[in-house]
Structure 1
Amino acid sequence: MTPPLLALNSVEVLYDQVILAIRGISLEVPKGGMVALLGSNGAGKSTTLKAISGLLKPERGRISRGSVSFDGKVIGDSPPQDRVAMGICHVIEGRRVFEHLTPDENLEAAAPMSMSGAAVRAEKERIYEYFPRLAERRRSESGYLSGGEQQMLAIGRGLMTQPRLLMLDEPSLGLAPFLVTEIFGIIRRINAEQGLSVLLVEQNAIAALDVVSHGYLIENGRIVMHDSAEAMKANSDIKEFYLGGGEGKNFHDIKHYRRRKRWLS
Protein backbone atom coordinates (compact mmCIF):
# COMPACT_ATOMS: atom_id res chain seq x y z
CA MET A 1 0.00 0.00 0.00
CA THR A 2 1.39 3.40 -1.03
CA PRO A 3 2.00 5.66 1.99
CA PRO A 4 0.12 8.98 1.98
CA LEU A 5 1.86 12.22 1.05
CA LEU A 6 0.39 13.96 4.11
CA ALA A 7 -0.65 12.35 7.38
CA LEU A 8 -1.94 13.91 10.59
CA ASN A 9 -2.00 11.55 13.56
CA SER A 10 -4.08 12.55 16.62
CA VAL A 11 -3.08 16.21 16.33
CA GLU A 12 -4.14 18.66 19.02
CA VAL A 13 -3.54 22.42 18.78
CA LEU A 14 -3.41 24.82 21.73
CA TYR A 15 -3.66 28.60 21.54
CA ASP A 16 -2.26 30.70 24.39
CA GLN A 17 -1.51 27.48 26.29
CA VAL A 18 -5.17 27.06 27.25
CA ILE A 19 -7.53 27.08 24.24
CA LEU A 20 -7.82 23.65 22.63
CA ALA A 21 -8.70 24.45 19.00
CA ILE A 22 -8.45 21.02 17.40
CA ARG A 23 -8.82 17.79 19.31
CA GLY A 24 -7.05 14.66 18.13
CA ILE A 25 -7.42 15.11 14.38
CA SER A 26 -6.21 12.35 12.07
CA LEU A 27 -6.41 12.63 8.30
CA GLU A 28 -4.50 11.64 5.18
CA VAL A 29 -3.98 13.02 1.68
CA PRO A 30 -2.72 10.40 -0.78
CA LYS A 31 -0.11 11.18 -3.40
CA GLY A 32 -1.94 12.69 -6.36
CA GLY A 33 -5.23 12.71 -4.45
CA MET A 34 -7.86 15.38 -3.83
CA VAL A 35 -9.37 15.50 -0.35
CA ALA A 36 -11.84 17.94 1.21
CA LEU A 37 -12.00 19.08 4.83
CA LEU A 38 -15.55 20.28 5.40
CA GLY A 39 -17.17 22.05 8.30
CA SER A 40 -18.90 25.18 9.46
CA ASN A 41 -17.24 28.45 10.39
CA GLY A 42 -15.10 28.04 13.53
CA ALA A 43 -14.98 24.24 13.34
CA GLY A 44 -11.16 24.15 13.15
CA LYS A 45 -10.53 23.90 9.41
CA SER A 46 -8.11 26.83 9.06
CA THR A 47 -6.26 25.83 12.25
CA THR A 48 -5.70 22.39 10.75
CA LEU A 49 -4.11 23.92 7.66
CA LYS A 50 -1.90 26.18 9.78
CA ALA A 51 -0.72 23.16 11.75
CA ILE A 52 0.39 21.63 8.44
CA SER A 53 2.01 24.75 6.97
CA GLY A 54 3.66 25.87 10.21
CA LEU A 55 1.72 29.13 10.62
CA LEU A 56 0.51 28.55 14.18
CA LYS A 57 3.35 30.28 16.02
CA PRO A 58 2.57 33.87 14.88
CA GLU A 59 -0.91 33.37 16.35
CA ARG A 60 0.46 31.97 19.63
CA GLY A 61 -0.57 28.46 18.75
CA ARG A 62 1.30 25.17 18.85
CA ILE A 63 0.82 21.47 18.29
CA SER A 64 0.50 20.08 21.80
CA ARG A 65 0.02 16.44 20.87
CA GLY A 66 0.24 14.16 17.84
CA SER A 67 2.31 14.43 14.67
CA VAL A 68 2.25 15.89 11.16
CA SER A 69 4.14 13.89 8.53
CA PHE A 70 4.91 14.84 4.94
CA ASP A 71 6.21 12.17 2.58
CA GLY A 72 7.07 9.99 5.56
CA LYS A 73 8.96 12.68 7.49
CA VAL A 74 7.67 14.23 10.73
CA ILE A 75 7.67 17.99 10.17
CA GLY A 76 6.15 19.35 13.39
CA ASP A 77 9.25 21.40 14.26
CA SER A 78 10.06 22.60 10.74
CA PRO A 79 9.68 26.36 10.09
CA PRO A 80 7.20 27.47 7.40
CA GLN A 81 9.89 28.28 4.81
CA ASP A 82 11.29 24.75 5.06
CA ARG A 83 7.83 23.30 4.52
CA VAL A 84 7.43 25.41 1.38
CA ALA A 85 10.78 24.05 0.15
CA MET A 86 9.50 20.51 0.82
CA GLY A 87 6.57 21.22 -1.49
CA ILE A 88 3.76 22.35 0.85
CA CYS A 89 1.78 25.36 -0.35
CA HIS A 90 -0.92 27.03 1.75
CA VAL A 91 -3.21 29.46 -0.09
CA ILE A 92 -4.65 31.45 2.81
CA GLU A 93 -8.29 32.50 2.97
CA GLY A 94 -9.02 35.99 1.72
CA ARG A 95 -7.19 36.28 -1.64
CA ARG A 96 -4.18 38.11 -0.17
CA VAL A 97 -2.45 39.39 -3.30
CA PHE A 98 -0.25 42.46 -3.72
CA GLU A 99 -2.90 44.85 -5.00
CA HIS A 100 -0.46 47.50 -6.24
CA LEU A 101 1.39 44.95 -8.40
CA THR A 102 0.24 43.38 -11.66
CA PRO A 103 -0.58 39.67 -11.85
CA ASP A 104 2.73 39.21 -13.69
CA GLU A 105 4.61 40.89 -10.84
CA ASN A 106 2.65 38.95 -8.22
CA LEU A 107 3.64 35.66 -9.82
CA GLU A 108 7.28 36.70 -10.08
CA ALA A 109 7.28 37.73 -6.41
CA ALA A 110 6.10 34.25 -5.41
CA ALA A 111 8.84 32.42 -7.33
CA PRO A 112 11.60 30.80 -5.22
CA MET A 113 14.89 32.70 -5.18
CA SER A 114 16.65 29.67 -6.66
CA MET A 115 14.40 29.58 -9.75
CA SER A 116 16.11 30.78 -12.94
CA GLY A 117 14.64 33.54 -15.08
CA ALA A 118 13.79 31.06 -17.81
CA ALA A 119 12.03 28.78 -15.32
CA VAL A 120 10.05 31.72 -13.91
CA ARG A 121 8.86 32.69 -17.39
CA ALA A 122 7.93 29.09 -18.21
CA GLU A 123 6.05 28.68 -14.94
CA LYS A 124 4.12 31.92 -15.49
CA GLU A 125 3.04 30.82 -18.97
CA ARG A 126 1.91 27.46 -17.62
CA ILE A 127 -0.22 29.23 -14.99
CA TYR A 128 -1.66 31.59 -17.60
CA GLU A 129 -2.62 28.56 -19.67
CA TYR A 130 -4.66 27.26 -16.74
CA PHE A 131 -6.07 30.71 -15.94
CA PRO A 132 -6.60 32.55 -19.25
CA ARG A 133 -8.51 35.31 -17.42
CA LEU A 134 -5.24 36.20 -15.68
CA ALA A 135 -3.35 36.21 -18.97
CA GLU A 136 -5.77 38.85 -20.26
CA ARG A 137 -5.20 41.03 -17.17
CA ARG A 138 -1.50 40.33 -16.64
CA ARG A 139 -0.52 44.02 -16.97
CA SER A 140 -3.38 45.44 -14.85
CA GLU A 141 -3.03 46.38 -11.19
CA SER A 142 -4.23 43.39 -9.16
CA GLY A 143 -6.37 45.60 -6.94
CA TYR A 144 -8.65 46.18 -9.93
CA LEU A 145 -9.21 42.49 -10.62
CA SER A 146 -12.56 40.91 -9.79
CA GLY A 147 -12.86 38.66 -6.75
CA GLY A 148 -12.70 35.57 -8.92
CA GLU A 149 -9.63 36.82 -10.77
CA GLN A 150 -7.90 37.62 -7.47
CA GLN A 151 -8.64 34.09 -6.25
CA MET A 152 -7.15 32.69 -9.45
CA LEU A 153 -4.09 34.87 -8.89
CA ALA A 154 -3.76 33.67 -5.28
CA ILE A 155 -3.79 30.06 -6.51
CA GLY A 156 -1.37 30.94 -9.31
CA ARG A 157 1.03 32.46 -6.77
CA GLY A 158 0.90 29.19 -4.86
CA LEU A 159 1.63 27.20 -8.00
CA MET A 160 4.75 29.31 -8.65
CA THR A 161 6.41 27.48 -5.73
CA GLN A 162 5.97 24.22 -7.69
CA PRO A 163 4.27 22.46 -4.77
CA ARG A 164 3.58 18.78 -4.27
CA LEU A 165 0.66 19.57 -1.94
CA LEU A 166 -1.68 22.51 -2.57
CA MET A 167 -3.83 23.50 0.42
CA LEU A 168 -6.69 25.86 -0.36
CA ASP A 169 -8.55 27.64 2.44
CA GLU A 170 -12.11 28.56 1.43
CA PRO A 171 -11.39 29.37 -2.25
CA SER A 172 -15.12 29.72 -2.99
CA LEU A 173 -15.69 32.41 -0.34
CA GLY A 174 -17.65 35.36 -1.74
CA LEU A 175 -17.66 34.09 -5.31
CA ALA A 176 -20.59 33.54 -7.65
CA PRO A 177 -21.46 29.87 -8.26
CA PHE A 178 -20.30 29.93 -11.90
CA LEU A 179 -16.87 31.19 -10.80
CA VAL A 180 -16.63 28.50 -8.13
CA THR A 181 -17.40 25.87 -10.77
CA GLU A 182 -14.75 27.34 -13.10
CA ILE A 183 -12.03 27.55 -10.45
CA PHE A 184 -12.71 24.08 -9.04
CA GLY A 185 -12.67 22.68 -12.57
CA ILE A 186 -9.23 24.20 -13.15
CA ILE A 187 -7.95 22.76 -9.85
CA ARG A 188 -9.22 19.33 -10.86
CA ARG A 189 -7.50 19.69 -14.25
CA ILE A 190 -4.18 20.61 -12.58
CA ASN A 191 -4.54 17.62 -10.28
CA ALA A 192 -5.21 15.28 -13.20
CA GLU A 193 -2.46 16.61 -15.47
CA GLN A 194 0.30 17.15 -12.91
CA GLY A 195 -0.56 14.70 -10.14
CA LEU A 196 -0.65 17.59 -7.67
CA SER A 197 -2.13 16.56 -4.32
CA VAL A 198 -4.87 18.90 -3.05
CA LEU A 199 -6.35 19.48 0.40
CA LEU A 200 -9.44 21.63 -0.04
CA VAL A 201 -10.93 23.36 3.01
CA GLU A 202 -14.51 24.45 2.38
CA GLN A 203 -17.84 25.37 3.88
CA ASN A 204 -19.34 24.90 0.39
CA ALA A 205 -19.78 21.13 0.67
CA ILE A 206 -21.71 20.84 -2.59
CA ALA A 207 -18.88 22.30 -4.69
CA ALA A 208 -16.12 20.52 -2.80
CA LEU A 209 -17.62 17.02 -2.91
CA ASP A 210 -18.07 17.35 -6.67
CA VAL A 211 -14.30 17.55 -7.27
CA VAL A 212 -12.63 15.48 -4.53
CA SER A 213 -12.50 11.71 -4.06
CA HIS A 214 -12.74 11.69 -0.25
CA GLY A 215 -13.84 14.03 2.48
CA TYR A 216 -13.52 14.64 6.19
CA LEU A 217 -16.09 16.49 8.28
CA ILE A 218 -14.84 18.50 11.24
CA GLU A 219 -17.03 19.82 14.05
CA ASN A 220 -15.84 21.51 17.24
CA GLY A 221 -12.25 20.60 16.48
CA ARG A 222 -12.92 16.89 15.94
CA ILE A 223 -13.19 14.76 12.81
CA VAL A 224 -16.67 13.28 13.01
CA MET A 225 -16.90 11.65 9.58
CA HIS A 226 -14.57 10.37 6.87
CA ASP A 227 -15.77 8.66 3.70
CA SER A 228 -15.73 8.79 -0.07
CA ALA A 229 -17.22 11.90 -1.66
CA GLU A 230 -20.10 9.87 -3.09
CA ALA A 231 -20.91 8.28 0.27
CA MET A 232 -20.84 11.66 2.00
CA LYS A 233 -23.15 13.19 -0.60
CA ALA A 234 -25.55 10.28 -0.08
CA ASN A 235 -25.51 10.48 3.73
CA SER A 236 -28.88 11.75 4.98
CA ASP A 237 -27.45 13.93 7.75
CA ILE A 238 -24.85 15.47 5.44
CA LYS A 239 -27.56 16.18 2.86
CA GLU A 240 -29.84 17.70 5.47
CA PHE A 241 -27.40 20.02 7.17
CA TYR A 242 -24.48 20.56 4.77
CA LEU A 243 -25.88 20.16 1.25
CA GLY A 244 -28.84 22.51 1.47
CA GLY A 245 -31.46 19.89 2.25
CA GLY A 246 -32.45 21.44 5.56
CA GLU A 247 -34.82 24.12 4.36
CA GLY A 248 -37.62 24.84 6.76
CA LYS A 249 -35.79 23.53 9.83
CA ASN A 250 -36.39 25.49 12.98
CA PHE A 251 -34.04 25.99 15.92
CA HIS A 252 -35.61 23.12 17.90
CA ASP A 253 -34.98 20.75 15.00
CA ILE A 254 -31.35 21.82 14.78
CA LYS A 255 -30.80 21.36 18.53
CA HIS A 256 -32.39 17.92 18.32
CA TYR A 257 -30.15 17.08 15.35
CA ARG A 258 -27.05 18.03 17.32
CA ARG A 259 -28.08 15.65 20.09
CA ARG A 260 -28.88 12.77 17.79
CA LYS A 261 -25.94 12.85 15.34
CA ARG A 262 -25.26 9.25 14.44
CA TRP A 263 -21.53 9.78 13.76
CA LEU A 264 -20.90 11.05 17.32
CA SER A 265 -22.40 7.97 18.94
Structure 2
Amino acid sequence: MQTANTPAAAKVLSLNNIEVVYDHVSLAIKGVSIDVPEGGMVALLGANGAGKSTTLKSISGLLVAERGEVRRGELQFLGRNISALSPQERVKLGIAHVLEGRRVFEHLTPDENLIAASAVRSRHDMHRNKERVYSYFPRLHERRAVASGYLSGGEQQMLAIGRALMTQPKLLMLDEPSLGLAPFLVAEIFQIISRINREDGLSVLLVEQNAVAALEIVSHGYLIESGRIVMHDTAEALKRNPDIQEFYLGGTKGKSFHDIKHYSRRKRWLT
Protein backbone atom coordinates (compact mmCIF):
# COMPACT_ATOMS: atom_id res chain seq x y z
CA MET A 1 0.00 0.00 0.00
CA GLN A 2 1.27 3.44 -0.88
CA THR A 3 1.53 6.11 1.80
CA ALA A 4 2.24 9.81 1.70
CA ASN A 5 5.50 11.01 3.19
CA THR A 6 4.14 13.98 5.11
CA PRO A 7 5.26 15.53 8.40
CA ALA A 8 3.44 14.44 11.54
CA ALA A 9 0.50 16.70 12.33
CA ALA A 10 -2.08 16.91 15.09
CA LYS A 11 -4.92 14.52 14.37
CA VAL A 12 -8.56 15.27 14.98
CA LEU A 13 -9.49 11.70 14.02
CA SER A 14 -7.52 8.46 13.94
CA LEU A 15 -8.85 5.04 12.95
CA ASN A 16 -6.43 2.23 13.67
CA ASN A 17 -7.07 -1.20 12.11
CA ILE A 18 -10.87 -0.98 12.36
CA GLU A 19 -12.91 -4.10 11.63
CA VAL A 20 -16.72 -3.91 11.31
CA VAL A 21 -19.07 -6.89 11.44
CA TYR A 22 -22.81 -6.98 10.70
CA ASP A 23 -25.09 -9.51 12.44
CA HIS A 24 -22.02 -11.04 14.15
CA VAL A 25 -21.15 -12.73 10.86
CA SER A 26 -20.68 -10.46 7.83
CA LEU A 27 -17.28 -8.75 7.73
CA ALA A 28 -17.81 -5.33 6.09
CA ILE A 29 -14.53 -3.49 6.58
CA LYS A 30 -11.20 -5.12 7.35
CA GLY A 31 -8.31 -3.40 9.06
CA VAL A 32 -9.16 0.16 7.97
CA SER A 33 -6.76 2.86 9.20
CA ILE A 34 -7.43 6.54 8.42
CA ASP A 35 -6.09 9.80 9.86
CA VAL A 36 -7.69 13.22 9.50
CA PRO A 37 -5.36 16.08 10.52
CA GLU A 38 -6.71 18.96 12.56
CA GLY A 39 -8.11 21.53 10.16
CA GLY A 40 -7.50 19.22 7.19
CA MET A 41 -9.65 17.86 4.38
CA VAL A 42 -9.41 14.17 3.52
CA ALA A 43 -11.34 12.12 0.96
CA LEU A 44 -12.35 8.47 1.23
CA LEU A 45 -12.87 7.26 -2.34
CA GLY A 46 -14.23 4.03 -3.71
CA ALA A 47 -16.95 2.37 -5.71
CA ASN A 48 -20.47 1.66 -4.46
CA GLY A 49 -20.38 -1.03 -1.77
CA ALA A 50 -16.66 -0.65 -1.06
CA GLY A 51 -17.21 0.20 2.63
CA LYS A 52 -17.17 4.00 2.60
CA SER A 53 -20.49 4.59 4.39
CA THR A 54 -19.78 1.81 6.89
CA THR A 55 -16.51 3.53 7.78
CA LEU A 56 -18.32 6.81 8.50
CA LYS A 57 -20.98 5.05 10.58
CA SER A 58 -18.28 3.38 12.66
CA ILE A 59 -17.03 6.88 13.52
CA SER A 60 -20.43 8.45 14.25
CA GLY A 61 -21.71 5.40 16.14
CA LEU A 62 -24.65 4.73 13.81
CA LEU A 63 -23.73 1.10 13.17
CA VAL A 64 -25.82 -0.11 16.08
CA ALA A 65 -29.07 0.84 14.35
CA GLU A 66 -28.05 -1.44 11.46
CA ARG A 67 -26.93 -4.37 13.65
CA GLY A 68 -23.31 -3.59 13.03
CA GLU A 69 -20.42 -3.28 15.46
CA VAL A 70 -16.75 -2.40 15.56
CA ARG A 71 -15.24 -5.75 16.41
CA ARG A 72 -11.57 -4.74 16.45
CA GLY A 73 -9.37 -1.67 16.27
CA GLU A 74 -9.36 1.74 17.89
CA LEU A 75 -11.31 4.92 17.18
CA GLN A 76 -9.72 8.09 18.53
CA PHE A 77 -11.21 11.57 18.32
CA LEU A 78 -9.11 14.46 19.65
CA GLY A 79 -6.89 11.90 21.37
CA ARG A 80 -9.78 10.17 23.13
CA ASN A 81 -10.98 6.61 22.55
CA ILE A 82 -14.66 6.98 21.56
CA SER A 83 -15.50 3.33 20.86
CA ALA A 84 -17.79 3.03 23.90
CA LEU A 85 -19.62 6.35 23.37
CA SER A 86 -23.19 6.66 22.07
CA PRO A 87 -23.94 8.58 18.85
CA GLN A 88 -25.33 11.45 20.94
CA GLU A 89 -22.15 11.66 23.01
CA ARG A 90 -20.07 11.71 19.85
CA VAL A 91 -22.10 14.63 18.50
CA LYS A 92 -21.50 16.51 21.75
CA LEU A 93 -17.76 15.91 21.36
CA GLY A 94 -17.88 17.53 17.93
CA ILE A 95 -18.56 14.84 15.28
CA ALA A 96 -21.19 15.73 12.67
CA HIS A 97 -22.27 13.14 10.10
CA VAL A 98 -24.23 14.22 7.00
CA LEU A 99 -25.82 11.02 5.77
CA GLU A 100 -26.18 10.01 2.14
CA GLY A 101 -29.54 11.05 0.71
CA ARG A 102 -29.81 14.36 2.62
CA ARG A 103 -32.67 13.27 4.98
CA VAL A 104 -33.97 16.70 6.00
CA PHE A 105 -37.35 17.19 7.69
CA GLU A 106 -39.40 17.84 4.57
CA HIS A 107 -42.47 19.15 6.42
CA LEU A 108 -40.38 21.82 8.18
CA THR A 109 -38.95 24.97 6.62
CA PRO A 110 -35.16 25.41 6.33
CA ASP A 111 -35.36 27.81 9.27
CA GLU A 112 -37.17 25.23 11.40
CA ASN A 113 -34.76 22.48 10.29
CA LEU A 114 -31.79 24.53 11.46
CA ILE A 115 -33.42 25.36 14.80
CA ALA A 116 -34.30 21.68 15.35
CA ALA A 117 -30.67 20.68 14.75
CA SER A 118 -29.19 23.33 17.04
CA ALA A 119 -27.03 21.90 19.80
CA VAL A 120 -26.85 25.10 21.90
CA ARG A 121 -29.28 26.28 24.55
CA SER A 122 -28.67 30.00 24.23
CA ARG A 123 -31.05 31.71 21.80
CA HIS A 124 -28.30 34.18 20.95
CA ASP A 125 -25.85 31.40 20.01
CA MET A 126 -28.53 29.59 18.03
CA HIS A 127 -29.30 32.70 15.97
CA ARG A 128 -25.60 33.36 15.48
CA ASN A 129 -25.04 29.82 14.19
CA LYS A 130 -28.08 30.08 11.93
CA GLU A 131 -26.86 33.33 10.40
CA ARG A 132 -23.48 31.72 9.86
CA VAL A 133 -25.15 28.90 7.92
CA TYR A 134 -27.11 31.41 5.84
CA SER A 135 -23.90 33.29 5.08
CA TYR A 136 -22.49 30.11 3.53
CA PHE A 137 -25.77 29.19 1.83
CA PRO A 138 -27.59 32.42 0.85
CA ARG A 139 -30.00 30.39 -1.28
CA LEU A 140 -31.31 28.76 1.91
CA HIS A 141 -31.95 32.20 3.39
CA GLU A 142 -34.02 33.10 0.34
CA ARG A 143 -36.03 29.87 0.77
CA ARG A 144 -36.10 29.83 4.57
CA ALA A 145 -39.92 29.98 4.86
CA VAL A 146 -40.68 27.26 2.25
CA ALA A 147 -41.35 23.65 3.29
CA SER A 148 -38.07 21.80 2.75
CA GLY A 149 -39.81 19.13 0.70
CA TYR A 150 -40.18 21.74 -2.04
CA LEU A 151 -36.48 22.55 -2.17
CA SER A 152 -34.35 21.29 -5.05
CA GLY A 153 -31.92 18.44 -4.48
CA GLY A 154 -29.02 20.88 -4.29
CA GLU A 155 -30.85 23.08 -1.79
CA GLN A 156 -31.69 20.06 0.36
CA GLN A 157 -28.01 19.06 0.36
CA MET A 158 -27.08 22.58 1.44
CA LEU A 159 -29.66 22.32 4.23
CA ALA A 160 -28.30 18.94 5.35
CA ILE A 161 -24.82 20.45 5.65
CA GLY A 162 -26.26 23.51 7.39
CA ARG A 163 -28.01 21.30 9.94
CA ALA A 164 -24.68 19.62 10.72
CA LEU A 165 -23.01 23.01 11.20
CA MET A 166 -25.66 23.93 13.79
CA THR A 167 -24.07 21.36 16.14
CA GLN A 168 -20.80 23.38 16.11
CA PRO A 169 -18.71 20.38 15.01
CA LYS A 170 -14.97 19.94 15.04
CA LEU A 171 -15.19 17.23 12.36
CA LEU A 172 -17.66 17.31 9.47
CA MET A 173 -18.22 13.95 7.75
CA LEU A 174 -20.03 14.07 4.41
CA ASP A 175 -21.39 10.95 2.74
CA GLU A 176 -21.73 11.35 -1.05
CA PRO A 177 -22.75 15.05 -1.07
CA SER A 178 -22.61 15.06 -4.90
CA LEU A 179 -25.10 12.20 -5.28
CA GLY A 180 -27.83 12.99 -7.81
CA LEU A 181 -26.74 16.60 -8.37
CA ALA A 182 -25.93 18.41 -11.59
CA PRO A 183 -22.22 19.16 -12.12
CA PHE A 184 -22.64 22.92 -11.56
CA LEU A 185 -24.31 22.26 -8.19
CA VAL A 186 -21.58 19.81 -7.20
CA ALA A 187 -18.96 22.47 -7.97
CA GLU A 188 -20.88 25.08 -5.94
CA ILE A 189 -21.33 22.84 -2.90
CA PHE A 190 -17.72 21.65 -2.95
CA GLN A 191 -16.52 25.27 -3.14
CA ILE A 192 -18.62 26.08 -0.07
CA ILE A 193 -17.25 23.04 1.82
CA SER A 194 -13.74 24.24 0.99
CA ARG A 195 -14.61 27.73 2.21
CA ILE A 196 -15.99 26.39 5.50
CA ASN A 197 -12.78 24.44 6.02
CA ARG A 198 -10.63 27.46 5.17
CA GLU A 199 -12.50 30.10 7.18
CA ASP A 200 -13.52 28.05 10.22
CA GLY A 201 -10.65 25.56 10.33
CA LEU A 202 -13.23 22.76 10.38
CA SER A 203 -11.79 19.30 9.69
CA VAL A 204 -13.59 17.43 6.89
CA LEU A 205 -13.79 13.75 5.97
CA LEU A 206 -15.42 13.50 2.55
CA VAL A 207 -16.79 10.20 1.24
CA GLU A 208 -17.24 10.27 -2.53
CA GLN A 209 -17.56 8.22 -5.67
CA ASN A 210 -16.95 11.44 -7.63
CA ALA A 211 -13.17 11.34 -7.36
CA VAL A 212 -12.72 14.17 -9.85
CA ALA A 213 -14.58 16.67 -7.67
CA ALA A 214 -13.25 15.36 -4.34
CA LEU A 215 -9.57 15.44 -5.28
CA GLU A 216 -9.87 19.08 -6.30
CA ILE A 217 -10.55 20.24 -2.74
CA VAL A 218 -8.84 17.77 -0.38
CA SER A 219 -5.16 17.50 0.52
CA HIS A 220 -5.07 13.71 0.91
CA GLY A 221 -7.15 10.75 -0.09
CA TYR A 222 -7.68 7.09 0.74
CA LEU A 223 -9.00 4.51 -1.69
CA ILE A 224 -11.09 1.69 -0.23
CA GLU A 225 -11.91 -1.49 -2.12
CA SER A 226 -13.83 -4.49 -0.75
CA GLY A 227 -13.57 -3.14 2.79
CA ARG A 228 -9.80 -2.54 2.71
CA ILE A 229 -7.71 0.60 2.23
CA VAL A 230 -5.62 -0.11 -0.86
CA MET A 231 -4.06 3.31 -1.41
CA HIS A 232 -3.29 6.48 0.54
CA ASP A 233 -1.49 9.51 -0.86
CA THR A 234 -1.71 13.23 -1.50
CA ALA A 235 -4.50 14.41 -3.77
CA GLU A 236 -2.01 15.43 -6.44
CA ALA A 237 -0.28 12.04 -6.38
CA LEU A 238 -3.63 10.23 -6.61
CA LYS A 239 -4.64 12.32 -9.61
CA ARG A 240 -1.40 11.32 -11.35
CA ASN A 241 -1.73 7.62 -10.53
CA PRO A 242 -2.54 5.68 -13.73
CA ASP A 243 -4.97 3.29 -12.02
CA ILE A 244 -6.86 6.17 -10.40
CA GLN A 245 -6.94 8.00 -13.73
CA GLU A 246 -8.16 4.93 -15.56
CA PHE A 247 -10.90 3.76 -13.23
CA TYR A 248 -11.87 6.74 -11.04
CA LEU A 249 -11.17 9.85 -13.10
CA GLY A 250 -13.11 9.04 -16.24
CA GLY A 251 -10.41 7.09 -18.03
CA THR A 252 -12.56 4.01 -18.64
CA LYS A 253 -13.91 5.44 -21.89
CA GLY A 254 -13.75 2.81 -24.60
CA LYS A 255 -13.06 -0.04 -22.17
CA SER A 256 -15.33 -3.05 -21.81
CA PHE A 257 -17.09 -4.04 -18.61
CA HIS A 258 -14.89 -7.16 -18.55
CA ASP A 259 -11.78 -4.96 -18.51
CA ILE A 260 -13.13 -2.98 -15.57
CA LYS A 261 -14.05 -6.12 -13.62
CA HIS A 262 -10.60 -7.54 -14.33
CA TYR A 263 -9.12 -4.43 -12.65
CA SER A 264 -10.34 -5.64 -9.26
CA ARG A 265 -8.12 -8.70 -9.70
CA ARG A 266 -5.09 -6.79 -11.01
CA LYS A 267 -4.57 -4.34 -8.15
CA ARG A 268 -1.34 -3.00 -9.59
CA TRP A 269 -0.79 -0.76 -6.56
CA LEU A 270 -0.41 -3.80 -4.27
CA THR A 271 2.47 -5.28 -6.25
Alignment of 1:83 onto 2:83: no
Deviations 1:123-173 (CA, angstroms, capped at 9, x unpaired): 111110100100100011100000000000000000000000000000000
Q: Distance in 2 between matches of 1:105 and 1:251?
A: 46
Which of residues 34, 40, 44 in structure 1 aligns to 2:41? Answer: 34
Secondary structure of 2:237's aligned partner: helix
Which of residues 95, 112, 115 in structure 2 aligns to 1:105? Answer: 112
Q: Distance in 1 between matches of 2:107 and 2:262?
A: 50
Using the size of structure 2 for normalisation, the TM-score is 0.96
The CA deviation at 1:260 is: 2.0
The CA deviation at 1:254 is: 2.2
Deviations 1:39-60 (CA, angstroms, capped at 9, x unpaired): 0000000000000000011111
Equivalent residue for 1:116? 122
Q: Over aligned residue pairs, what C-alpha RMSD do you find?
A: 0.9
- The aligned amino acid for 1:173 is L
Cα pair 1:9 1:67 within 8 Å, conserved = yes
Secondary structure of 1:200's aligned partner: strand
Q: Distance in 2 between matches of 1:252 and 1:193?
A: 45
Q: Distance in 2 between matches of 1:264 and 1:50?
A: 27
- The aligned amino acid for 1:239 is Q
Aligned length: 264
Secondary structure of 1:65's aligned partner: strand
Q: Distance in 2 between matches of 1:187 and 1:251?
A: 34
Q: Distance in 2 between matches of 1:66 and 1:103?
A: 39
Equivalent residue for 1:214? 220
Q: Distance in 2 between matches of 1:163 and 1:83?
A: 10
Equivalent residue for 1:43? 50
- The aligned amino acid for 1:14 is V
Q: Which blocks of at least 5 consecutive residues in structure 1 are unaligned?
A: none
Secondary structure of 2:206's aligned partner: strand
Using the size of structure 1 for normalisation, the TM-score is 0.98
- The aligned amino acid for 1:252 is H
Equivalent residue for 2:206? 200
Alignment of 1:246 onto 2:258: no
The CA deviation at 1:253 is: 1.9
Which of residues 147, 151, 165 in structure 2 aligns to 1:145? Answer: 151
The CA deviation at 1:187 is: 0.5
Q: Distance in 2 between matches of 1:255 and 1:152?
A: 35
Q: Which blocks of at least 5 consecutive residues in structure 2 are unaligned?
A: 1-7
Which of residues 175, 180, 186 in structure 2 aligns to 1:174? Answer: 180
Alignment of 1:164 onto 2:177: no
Secondary structure of 1:210's aligned partner: helix
Cα pair 1:111 1:120 within 8 Å, conserved = yes
Secondary structure of 1:28's aligned partner: strand
The CA deviation at 1:3 is: 2.8
The CA deviation at 1:250 is: 1.0
Deviates more, 1:243-252 or 1:15-24: 243-252
Cα pair 1:46 1:169 within 8 Å, conserved = yes
Stretches of 4+ aligned residues off by more than 4 angstroms: none
Q: Distance in 1 between matches of 2:89 and 2:158?
A: 25
The CA deviation at 1:262 is: 1.4
Cα pair 1:3 1:72 within 8 Å, conserved = no
Equivalent residue for 2:269? 263
Equivalent residue for 1:125? 131
Q: Distance in 1 between matches of 2:180 and 2:258?
A: 29
Deviations 1:77-105 (CA, angstroms, capped at 9, x unpaired): 10000000000000001010010110000
- The aligned amino acid for 1:93 is E
Secondary structure of 1:41's aligned partner: coil
Secondary structure of 1:171's aligned partner: coil
